Amino acid sequence: MSSPEPAAGQLHPLHLPPQKVAAGTYLVQAAQQGLGAPLSVHLNSAVFQGAEPIIVDTGSARNRDHFIKDVFSLVEPADVRWVFLSHDDSDHTGNLAEVIEMCPNATLLCSWALVERFGNAYDFPLRRCRWVNDGDSVQAGDRTLVALRPPVYDSPATRGLLDTSTGVYWAADAFATPVPGGPGTAPATDVAELDPQLWWDGMVMFGVHALAPWLSLVDRGRYAKTVRNVQGHRIECIISGHSPVIGADRVAEAFDMIGRLADTTPPPCPDQQVLELMLHAMGEQ
Ligand SMILES: [Fe+2]
Ligand SMILES: [Fe+2]
C-alpha cells in the first residue's frame, strides 16, 4: 500500500501537515514541485470530523504514505461514514481503493458520470455508493452537505462539497494556482501569503490552460450568473485541491477573480520550445 516511486527526474510530493480550517475540519495537504520554476502546486484533500466523519477526495497515489497517515490521524477508519469523490482525476482518486477497503462503514458519495468515466480503473462497490447531482443535499449526522459544482472544472463528473454547518466549501479543482516555494522553502498555505498579482497570474494560467480551456467559449452573462449562484451560498472558507486556503476575508475576491477568468487572455501555453529549455536547465539535454 506504499506510495509508488516517482520516475527518474521526478520528486516525491512535498509533505505539509494537515491544516485546521474550521471546527473539526482539516485540509490534508501535499504539494508537487512546479515544472521549470521555483513554484509548487497543492495536491489537497480534506477531512470533516463530527458525528459522521467524511473524507473529501483521496489524494494522489504518489503521496499515499503521507495521505493515509494524515487522514487516519484525524479519524479512525472504522468511524468514517462517508467518502466524497469530487471527480475522476488521478490526483483526487489516487487512494480510493485503499480508503474504501480501510473504511468498511463508509458510503461513497459519487455520481453516475463518475462511475461511468472511472469504472475502467476501479470496480465501484455500487451497493456502497450514493449518487449526488449538482444541488443535492446529504445529511451527514450534524452536518448538512450540499454537492455544489464549482464554476470551473475539468471533468463533467465534478461536484464540489459545501458543509453548511461551517461554511467550508471544497471547490474540487477550482481556484487552482501555483504558489512560490518548493524544496527548502515551504509553499504558501494561505492565499493571504501570496502577492496579489502572482495569485491572479497563477489562477489565469491554471484556470485556462490546465482546467477550463473552454472558458473563452461561454456566454458571459450565463457564466456570471453561475458564479453568482455558487457565491450566493454561505461560504466562509474555500478549500481546493490546488490552492492555499482562501479565508473569509478573501472569498469575495476569489469569486471575483473566477468571474473575470472568462474575459482573460492567458499567456501562451508552454510548447515544445519551453520543454527543451526546461530539459536543458535540468541538464537532461
Ligand atoms: Fe481535475
Ligand atoms: Fe485536481
Report the b/e string of 170-206 with b at 16+ CB within 10 A.
bbbbbbbbbbbbbeeeebbbebeebeeeebbebbbbb
CA of 153 to the centre of ligand 1 (A): 7
Q: Which one of 3.30.1360.40, 3.60.15.10, 1.10.3470.10, 3.40.1390.10 gives the CATH number of domain 14-281?
A: 3.60.15.10
Q: Are the beta carbons of 238 and 253 closer than 8 angstroms?
A: no
Q: How much is the pLDDT for 9?
A: 52
Residue 55, beta-bridge partner list: 47, 83
| Domain boundary assignment for the chain | 14-281
Q: How much is the pLDDT for 2?
A: 67
CA of 241 to the centre of ligand 2 (A): 6
Q: How much is the pLDDT for 42?
A: 96
d(CA 124, CA 110): 10
d(CA 241, CA 226): 20
Q: How much is the pLDDT for 4?
A: 67
CA nearest to 22, candidates 248, 173, 233: 248
CA of 91 to the centre of ligand 2 (A): 5
CA of 172 to the centre of ligand 2 (A): 7
Q: How much is the pLDDT for 284?
A: 64
3-state secondary structure of 206: helix
CA of 205 to the centre of ligand 1 (A): 15
CA of 87 to the centre of ligand 1 (A): 7
CA of 173 to the centre of ligand 2 (A): 5
Q: Are the beta carbons of 80 and 55 closer than 8 angstroms?
A: yes
Proximal ligand: closest to the CA of 175: 2
Q: How many CB atoms lie within 10 A of CB 141?
A: 14
d(CA 148, CA 146): 6
CA of 283 to the centre of ligand 1 (A): 31
- Burial class of residue 218 in the structure, from the number of CB atoms within 10 Å of its CB (0-12 exposed, 13-18 middle, 19+ buried): middle
Mean pLDDT, the chain cut into blocks of 10 residues (285 residues total)? 60 87 97 82 97 98 96 98 98 98 98 97 97 98 97 98 98 96 83 97 95 95 98 98 98 98 93 91 72
In single-letter form, the type of residue at position 91 comes to D
Q: Are the beta carbons of 125 and 100 closer than 8 angstroms?
A: yes
CA of 285 to the centre of ligand 1 (A): 31
Give the ranges where the chain is alpha helix by DSSP (H): 64-74, 90-93, 96-102, 112-118, 196-204, 220-231, 251-260, 272-281
Q: How much is the pLDDT for 229?
A: 98
Proximal ligand: closest to the CA of 153: 1
